[in-house]
C-alpha cells in the first residue's frame, strides 16, 4: 500500500468544486482568484499530514485528481499568496483551510492563537504558527443512499404548520429516546419524537442551523459554546456533532435517514441557513476557510479600508453575494441540500443582507434573480427573515413573490394586544387575516405571512408571561445582551410565584397567544417547547447555553397545554375557512341574507365603524368567517364549503358583555374551543343563542355557527 506522499497528482477537472470520489480516485477543485499556489493536505488517522501541490489552474480554479484516494479521507488546503491588509489580502499558508465545498467535516476547533492569520499578540506580517492541530478537516464522502422512492410530502403552504426546533435540544433529555441517539439526527427521527410531531399536527420542522458551525472565540474563553449554530463554517456539511454514527462521512448518511423517516411521517424538513456571514468574524477573527482562500473574493470589504469588513449582519462580516463565485457557492449549496439531502425548503437568516446589491436592500438583486430562475431551488419552500442590522434593513412585506416571510409585524402586534398595550384592534385585524397590507399589492397570498409569537431568539412563551425583564447573566455579558423591549407582561409578578391566581392567569395568557396564532390566516410557526410549557428561566438570548436552559425538558410537560395545541391544530386542519388561500374581500355573499365572507363585530353587536377602527382603547373584537365565502376551489375546480365561525377575542382585564350577532349571521353558536379551559375543550357540549353573553377577562373563543335547516 502506497503512502499518501507517493500519490501521483493527476490534472483532474476544474468542475465541480469540492472533493468528488469517482470510484477509483478523488478530484479536488478549489476556487481562488488571487492565490499564487495551492497545497492539498491529506491527513492520516493519527494526524500525519501529506502535502500535494495542485499545479493546474483553470478559470481561477486550482484542481487535481488523486487516484486511490477515497471516502473517509480527511483533507484541507494551504493557500499561498500576498499578505497586504491594506488591499484586503490575507493569504497565509501556515493556516489549514477548510474546503468551502466539503461534504462532511471531522474534528473540533480548539481555541489557540494559531487560529488567527495575523499575529494575535501583536507585530507585523502574517502569523507563522501552524493551525492544523486546532481546526477541523474536510472529509471525502460517498454520496449514495437508498432513498427507495422517498418523496417530499409537498404540503401546500396553506396547510403548513411549522415547528422550529433545535436538533440537539429536541431529544437530548427525552427518556424514550435511547441514550446513544439523544441529541442527534437519529434522535430527531426516533418514533418517540416523530409521534409527538404527528400528534400535534405539525407538517414541517424548521431546523435551527445544521450546516457545520463553530463557536466564536469569545465563547470558549468564557466557558460557553455556540448552541444555536448561526456561525457557519461549511455550507455543504451536516453538523458533525449531531451525528450518533461517526464523523467520517456517517453524519451525511444519518442526516439523509432522518429526512427519509420524517417524509414517511408526512413531515417536511426546512433548514435555517446562514448565507449572510461566516464563522470567521471581523478583522480580529480566525482564519479558517474563506478568509485565507480569497478574502476579497468572498467578503464585502469596507470601502476606503479593505482591512476591515462591511458588517450588515452584526456578526463581523458579510458574504459578498454580488460576486459570481459567491453567488454560485450559495446556489450550489442550496441545490445540493435539495437534490442530495432531499430537504424541502429553507429559512434564510438575515435575508435582507443577501438582497443588498450595493448599499440598499434591492428586491431585484442578483440573488433573487438566480433563485427565481433556478429549476430546483425555486420549487421548494423559501422563507426570509426579512431584516438585517444595516441601514434600511427592516424589509417586512418587501420580498418578491415566491418568498414567504417571518412576519415580525405579526409578532409585535399580538404581543402588544395580550400585554395590555392600548393599540386598538385595527392592526390586529390585518394580522389575523393574513396581513393583506403587507403582502397583497404584489400578488402574494396570505401564506406569504409566516405568523409567529415566539422564536428561538427571545423568551419562550412561558417566560413571555412570567418575566418582563431578561435574565441573561449566565451569558457572561452582564445582562447587556438580548432584547430589552419584549412587548410582554409578567401578569403582575416578576418571575416564578406560588400564587395560584397568577399562575392560572399565566397559563391562560399562554393559551391566548397560541389561540391567536393558530386561528390566524397565514402559516403558523410554533417554537419547540412552547406546547410543553418550556421555560428558559428568563434568559431571552440563550444562543450560548448548550445545557438545561435551552434543552426541551420532557419530564416537566404541561399535558393540558399539549392537548390544547393539538386541538386547535386539528380544528385548523379540518376547517379550510381557518386557513384561507386568498385574501378576504369583505363583500356580501349571494343568497345568504346579507352575510360577508369576513365581518368584524363590536361588543354591542354592530359591525365595527370607522370610530371603532381608530379607537386605541378597544380591546374586544369579533371576527366572523363565513365558510360559504371561501375564494379558492379544490383540485377538481369545485367550490370549497365549510362551517362558519365567530372568533371572539377579548384582551381586557375585566369580563365584558358582548352581543353575538343573530340572523342572518347565525341562529346559534356552539363552542369549538376556548382559552378559559385548560385543554380548550368545553366540559360538555355548549350551545349558546345570539344575544348578550359575558366573555371572561383575557379570553379567546372559537364559536361554530349554527343555522337552521
pLDDT of 544-555, one tens digit each?
999 999 999 999
Query: What pLDDT is stored for residue 7 in this prediction?
Result: 64
Cα separation, 635 vs 129, whole angstroms: 65
Question: Exposed (0-12), middle (13-18) or buried (19+): which is 465, by Cβ within 10 Å?
Answer: buried
As given in the structure block, the three cell numbers for residue 372 are 427565481
Does residue 149 fall inside a structural domain? no
Q: Is a pLDDT exceeding 90 seen at residue 1? A: no
Q: Assign 15 a pLDDT band (cuts: 50, 70, 90).
A: very high
Query: What pLDDT is stored for residue 357 in this prediction?
Result: 62
Q: Assign 61 a pLDDT band (cuts: 50, 70, 90).
A: very high
Q: Assign 351 a pLDDT band (cuts: 50, 70, 90).
A: confident
Lowest-confidence region among 322-326, 330-334, 664-668:
322-326
The CATH number linked to 671 is 2.60.40.1180
Q: Assign 623 a pLDDT band (cuts: 50, 70, 90).
A: very high
Does residue 154 fall inside a structural domain? no
Does residue 685 fall inside a structural domain? yes
Is the separation of the CB atoms in 406 and 350 below 8 Å?
A: no
Q: Assign 363 a pLDDT band (cuts: 50, 70, 90).
A: low
Q: Are residues 187 and 256 in the same domain?
A: yes
Domain assignment of residue 682, given as a range:
586-706
Q: The pTM is what?
A: 0.97
Q: Are residues 289 and 189 in the same domain?
A: yes
Q: Are residues 426 and 355 in the same domain?
A: yes
Q: Are residues 258 and 313 in the same domain?
A: yes
Q: Is a pLDDT exceeding 60 seen at residue 455? A: yes
Question: Exposed (0-12), middle (13-18) or buried (19+): which is 308, by Cβ within 10 Å?
Answer: middle
Task: Give the model confidence (pLDDT) of 96-147 as tens digits.
Answer: 999 999 999 999 999 999 999 999 777 788 999 999 999 999 999 998 999 9
Does residue 498 fall inside a structural domain? no
Q: Are residues 652 and 536 in the same domain?
A: no
Q: Cell numbers 435551527 correspond to what residue?
A: 208
Residues 491-514, mean pLDDT to the nearest whole number: 98
Q: Are residues 230 and 295 in the same domain?
A: yes
Q: Are residues 213 and 342 in the same domain?
A: yes
Q: Are residues 220 and 297 in the same domain?
A: yes
DSSP string, 414-462: HHHHHHT----SHHHHHHHBT-HHHHTTTT--GGGEEE-S--SSS--HH
Residues 314-342, mean pLDDT to the nearest whole number: 95
Distance, first Cα to last Cα, the chain: 86
Does residue 531 fall inside a structural domain? yes
Q: Are residues 623 and 571 in the same domain?
A: no
Q: Assign 490 a pLDDT band (cuts: 50, 70, 90).
A: very high
Percentages (nearest 5) of helix, strand, coil residues in the chain? 25, 20, 55
Is the separation of the CB atoms in 690 and 669 below 8 Å?
A: yes
- Which active-site residues does the annotation give? 349, 385
Q: Is a pLDDT exceeding 50 seen at residue 184? A: yes
Q: Is a pLDDT exceeding 70 seen at residue 284? A: yes
Does residue 6 fall inside a structural domain? no
Query: What pLDDT is stored for residue 591 in this prediction?
Result: 87
Does residue 333 fall inside a structural domain? yes
Query: What pLDDT is stored for residue 124 in this prediction?
Result: 84
Q: Is a pLDDT exceeding 80 seen at residue 315? A: yes
Domain end, chosen from 527, 544, 576, is at: 576
Q: Assign 637 a pLDDT band (cuts: 50, 70, 90).
A: confident
Q: Is a pLDDT exceeding 60 seen at residue 364? A: no
Query: What pLDDT is stored for residue 504 in this prediction?
Result: 98
Q: Are residues 571 and 590 in the same domain?
A: no
* 270 vs 400, residue with greater confidence: 270
Domain end, chosen from 558, 576, 594, is at: 576
Is the separation of the CB atoms in 194 and 261 below 8 Å?
A: yes
Task: Give the model confidence (pLDDT) of 68-109 as tens digits.
Answer: 999 999 999 999 999 999 999 999 999 999 999 999 999 999
Task: Give the model confidence (pLDDT) of 200-219 as tens digits.
Answer: 999 999 999 999 999 999 99
Per-chain mean pLDDT for the chain:
95
Percent of the chain predicted with pLDDT > 70: 98
Residues 624-650, mean pLDDT to the nearest whole number: 91
Residue 392: name the closest of 358, 348, 360, 351 by CA: 360
Q: Is a pLDDT exceeding 80 seen at residue 359? A: no
Q: Is a pLDDT exceeding 50 seen at residue 593? A: yes
The CATH number linked to 129 is 2.60.40.10
The CATH number linked to 312 is 3.20.20.80
Q: Assign 392 a pLDDT band (cuts: 50, 70, 90).
A: confident
Query: What pLDDT is stored for residue 3 in this prediction?
Result: 56
Residues 265-283, mean pLDDT to the nearest whole number: 97
Q: Is a pLDDT exceeding 50 seen at residue 487? A: yes
Residues 6+ apart with CB under 8 A from 566: 199, 200, 201
* 417 vs 397, residue with greater confidence: 417
SS (H, E, C) 46-73: CCCEEEEEECEEECCEEEEEEECCCCCC
Cα separation, 164 vs 206, whole angstroms: 5
Domain end, chosen from 79, 109, 140, is at: 140
Does residue 511 fall inside a structural domain? no
Q: How many domains does the chain have?
A: 3
Q: Are residues 133 and 163 in the same domain?
A: no
Q: Are residues 201 and 132 in the same domain?
A: no
Amino acid at each position: 500500500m502506497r503512502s499518501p506522499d507517493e500519490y501521483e497528482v493527476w490534472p483532474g477537472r476544474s468542475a465541480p468544486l469540492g472533493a468528488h470520489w469517482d470510484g477509483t480516485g478523488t478530484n479536488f477543485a478549489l476556487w481562488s482568484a488571487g492565490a499564487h499556489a495551492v497545497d492539498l493536505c491529506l491527513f492520516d488517522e493519527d494526524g500525519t499530514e501529506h502535502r500535494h501541490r495542485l499545479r493546474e489552474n483553470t478559470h481561477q480554479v486550482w484542481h487535481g485528481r488523486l487516484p486511490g484516494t477515497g471516502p473517509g479521507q480527511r483533507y484541507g488546503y494551504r493557500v499561498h499568496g500576498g499578505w497586504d491588509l491594506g488591499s484586503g489580502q490575507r493569504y497565509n499558508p501556515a493556516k489549514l483551510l477548510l474546503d468551502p465545498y466539503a461534504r462532511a467535516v471531522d474534528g473540533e476547533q480548539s481555541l489557540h492563537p494559531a487560529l488567527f492569520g495575523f499575529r494575535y499578540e501583536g507585530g507585523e506580517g502574517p502569523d507563522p504558527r501552524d493551525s492544523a492541530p486546532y481546526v477541523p478537516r474536510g472529509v471525502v464522502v460517498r454520496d449514495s443512499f437508498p432513498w427507495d422512492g422517498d418523496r417530499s410530502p409537498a404540503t401546500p403552504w396553506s396547510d403548513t404548520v411549522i415547528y422550529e426546533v433545535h436538533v440537539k435540544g429536541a431529544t437530548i433529555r427525552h427518556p424514550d429516546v435511547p441514550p446513544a441517539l439523544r441529541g442527534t439526527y437519529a434522535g430527531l427521527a426516533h418514533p418517540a419524537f416523530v409521534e409527538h410531531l404527528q400528534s400535534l399536527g405539525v407538517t414541517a420542522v424548521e431546523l435551527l442551523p445544521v450546516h457545520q458551525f463553530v463557536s466564536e472565540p469569545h465563547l470558549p474563553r468564557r466557558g460557553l459554546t455556540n448552541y444555536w449554530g448561526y456561525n457557519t463554517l461549511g455550507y455543504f456539511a451536516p453538523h458533525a456533532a449531531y451525528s450518533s454514527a461517526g464523523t467520517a462521512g456517517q453524519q451525511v448518511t444519518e442526516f439523509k435517514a432522518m429526512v427519509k423517516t420524517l417524509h414517511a411521517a408526512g413531515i417536511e424538513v426546512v433548514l435555517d441557513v446562514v448565507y449572510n456571514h461566516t464563522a470567521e468574524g471581523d478583522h480580529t477573527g480566525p482564519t479558517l476557510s474563506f478568509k485565507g482562500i480569497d478574502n476579497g473574493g468572498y467578503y464585502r470589504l469596507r470601502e476606503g479600508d479593505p482591512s476591515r469588513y462591511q458588517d450588515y449582519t452584526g456578526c463581523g462580516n458579510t458574504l459578498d453575494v454580488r460576486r459570481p463565485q459567491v453567488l454560485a457557492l450559495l446556489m450550489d449549496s442550496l441545490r445540493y441540500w435539495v437534490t442530495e439531502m432531499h430537504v424541502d425548503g429553507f429559512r434564510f437568516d438575515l435575508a435582507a443582507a443577501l438582497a443588498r446589491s450595493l448599499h440598499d436592500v434591492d428586491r431585484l438583486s442578483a440573488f433573487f434573480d438566480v433563485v427565481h430562475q433556478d429549476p430546483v431551488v425555486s420549487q421548494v419552500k423559501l422563507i426570509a427573515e426579512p431584516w438585517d442590522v444595516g441601514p434600511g434593513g427592516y424589509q417586512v412585506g418587501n420580498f418578491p413573490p415566491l418568498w414567504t416571510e417571518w412576519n415580525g409585524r405579526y409578532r409585535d402586534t399580538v404581543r402588544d394586544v395580550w400585554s395590555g398595550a392600548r393599540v386598538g384592534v385595527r392592526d390586529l385585524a390585518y394580522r389575523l387575516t393574513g396581513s393583506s397590507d403587507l403582502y397583497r399589492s404584489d400578488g402574494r397570498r396570505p401564506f406569504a405571512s409566516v405568523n409567529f409569537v415566539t422564536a428561538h431568539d427571545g423568551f419562550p412563551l412561558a417566560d413571555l408571561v412570567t418575566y418582563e425583564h431578561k435574565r441573561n447573566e449566565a451569558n457572561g455579558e452582564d445582562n447587556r445582551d438580548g432584547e430589552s423591549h419584549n412587548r410582554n407582561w409578567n401578569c403582575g409578578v416578576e418571575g416564578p410565584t406560588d400564587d395560584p391566581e397568577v399562575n392560572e392567569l399565566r397559563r391562560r395568557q399562554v393559551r391566548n397567544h397560541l389561540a391567536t396564532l393558530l386561528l390566524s390566516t397565514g402559516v403558523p410557526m410554533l417554537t419547540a417547547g412552547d406546547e410543553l410549557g418550556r421555560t428558559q428561566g428568563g434568559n431571552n438570548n440563550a444562543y450560548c447555553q448548550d445545557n438545561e436552559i435551552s434543552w426541551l425538558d420532557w419530564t416537566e410537560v404541561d399535558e393540558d397545554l399539549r392537548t390544547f395545541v393539538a386541538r386547535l391544530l386539528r380544528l385548523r386542519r379540518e376547517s379550510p375557512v381557518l386557513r384561507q388561500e386568498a385574501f378576504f374581500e369583505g363583500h356580501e355573499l349571494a343568497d345568504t341574507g346579507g352575510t360577508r365572507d369576513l365581518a368584524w363585530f363590536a361588543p354591542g353587536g354592530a359591525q365595527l365603524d370607522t370610530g371603532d377602527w381608530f379607537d386605541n382603547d378597544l380591546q374586544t373584537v369579533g371576527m366572523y368567517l363565513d365558510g360559504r365565502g371561501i375564494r379558492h376551489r379544490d383540485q377538481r375546480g369545485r367550490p370549497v364549503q365549510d362551517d362558519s365561525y365567530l372568533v371572539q377575542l377579548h384582551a381586557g382585564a375585566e369580563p365584558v358583555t358582548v352581543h353575538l350577532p343573530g340572523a342572518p349571521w347565525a341562529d346559534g353558536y356552539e363552542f369549538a374551543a376556548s382559552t378559559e379551559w385548560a385543554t380548550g375543550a368545553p366540559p360538555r357540549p355548549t350551545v349558546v343563542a345570539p344575544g348578550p353573553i359575558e366573555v371572561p377577562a383575557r379570553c379567546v373563543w372559537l364559536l361554530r355557527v349554527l343555522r337552521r335547516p
